[in-house]
Structure 1
Amino acid sequence: MAANGAYRLTDVTLDESIGRSTPDVEHERAVAIFDLLEENSFAPNGHAGGPYHLKLSLIDKKLVFTILTESGGAVATHILSLTPFRRIIRDYFMICESYYQAIRSSTPSQIEAIDMGRRGIHNEGSQTLEDRLKGKITLDFDTARRLFTLVCVLYWRG
Structure 2
Amino acid sequence: MPLKGIISFILLIFINLFLIAQPQDFTLILRKVPKGNRFLYQANDHIMFQYHDSIHSDTIIHISSESVRLKSNKQYQLNEITTIYRTDGRSFFINGSTKFPIAGVIFLTLTTINQALSNGKPLVIREHLIPSLALGFIGIVMIPFRIKRYHLNKRWELITVPS
TM-score by length of 1: 0.31
Higher relative contact order (CA 8 A, sep 6+): 1
TM-score by length of 2: 0.30
Q: Whose strand proportion is higher, 1 or 2?
A: 2
Q: Whose helix proportion is higher, 1 or 2?
A: 1
